[in-house]
Amino acid sequence: MGERTHWRQEQVYVRRRRTALAILAIVCVALSASAIGAWRAFRPDNARAEAVTTAGTPATANPTATATSISTAPTPTPKVTQRVPSADTRLERIDRFTGGITPKSVDASEHGLVLANNMIYSHSITVYNSRTHELVKRLPDSIDLSKYGFAGHKGISKGGPVEAAWTKDAKYAYVSNYVMSGPGFKGYATDECSPKSGFDRGFVYRFNAATMKWDQAIEVGAVPKFVALTPDQKKVVISNWCDFTISIIDRAKAKQVKVIKLAAQPRGIVIMPDNKTAYVAAMYGNKVFRVNLDTGEHHVIMTVNRPRHLVLSPDSKWLYLAASGTNTVYKIDTSTDKVVSQVVSGPEPRSMSISQDGTALYVVNYFGKSASKITTSDMKVVQRVPTDPAPIGITYDDATHQVWVACYGGSMLVFDDTKTTVSTSTGTSSPAAPTAPGAVTATAE
């Protein structure tokens, strides 16, 4: 009301002064621009999701942001080489924010953006500025598939985002959708399933970072989960949870070109520099496979209880596996496919990420309300930091050397990993006593 009152007073003043109409027009334009600028600066959806915390104390969350928070993405940020090896630094929490989110996974683009998939029934993704942690976009999973060539699904469908993978240039991110609902779909799926369940085939959407919109929809198998790109960026590989398969997408054609059947509930995927050798964890098949993406040939390299997530070292010499059923992270030599070392991370390790220099792993412990930092040279837990309940997603951002942790209960935590000493007031904890393998039961895979 203050701005509106001021404008009216100005009009009275102008009329009294009997100024020229041209001057009046200029004043009106100036005042309008000022009002619009002020509204844009202070509108709620342009506000930061939550103020930066101090001494590990959460700030008060702002109201839920709307679908268009900041109209453009941040300028691409080049990777900054670490001065101190990540093995020698320690995590310190610098931020916590909420704001109507239920993050299932989180992935840094390495060029200024971080994308989080909210719980499937939230039907949205949220995109953040990796440096300021501001909300850039809240995008619903609603899409008209008929516009992408799927005539049997005319009208608005919803997906349920699960995981994402960015292209190297950070122009696009591919997002898997758990189950489709809408015209032509049954709209139902569960984690306890098999190819006999008869669930609908799922879809992968492509997120365009320039327009902040979906620009492709690609049909894959039933209940797609993990997403990985080949190093040459020509193919996208998807694990189809209920089909027991992986789908191979040709990016140029924007369509599935091959399906390879493996074992029960495939999830984690990594792809070697040759662009054809992949490792896939079949979580409820209790197997880890080495797969030839060209021929479809595959064999088991390891049998373990509930293998979930895989990460490659930057030089691809080492494969790291988080097995939820043993609470353990394994280090595997990719030249022999043999386990060379292992360490108990915490109760129910789920997702992992690796530092830019490959000297540290970051692992969320779903039932431990914690995240572990593991040095890769000796596979030691050098730090275990407390998190909010149900930490399930984690990503390391090369541009900032920060670690983002997605907590299913409705929050995102951000840790700095550049300091060699950490204040005890941040709530950082030392490694806790290991939990006995197999002591927990998996949920929300």
Mean pLDDT of the chain: 84
Domain residue extents for the chain: 1-42, 43-426
Give 269-293 pLDDT, tens digit per residue.
999 999 999 999 999 999 999 999 9
Identify the three-state secondary structure at position 397. strand
What's the pLDDT band for 419 if we cut at 50, 70, 90?
A: very high
In the chain, count H helices and then E strands: 2, 30
Residue 209 has pLDDT above 50, yes or no: yes
For the domain made up of 43-426, give the CATH fold.
Methylamine Dehydrogenase; Chain H (2.130.10)
Which of 139, 30, 56 is CA-nearest to residue 386? 56
Question: pLDDT value at position 76?
Answer: 55
Question: pLDDT value at position 72?
Answer: 53
Total residues belonging to the chain: 445
Give the separation between CA 330 and CA 327, rounded to whole angstroms.
10
Residue 26 has pLDDT above 90, yes or no: no
Residue 306 has pLDDT above 90, yes or no: yes
Of 414 and 431, more confident:
414
Give the separation between CA 166 and CA 172, rounded to whole angstroms.
6
What's the pLDDT band for 431 if we cut at 50, 70, 90?
A: low
Give 329-346 pLDDT, tens digit per residue.
999 999 999 999 999 999
What percent of the chain clears pLDDT 90, i.e. is strictly above it?
A: 74
Which of 106, 136, 138, 133 is CA-nearest to residue 50? 133
DSSP 187-208: ----SS--GGG-PPEEEEEEEE
pTM: 0.82
Question: pLDDT value at position 54?
Answer: 29
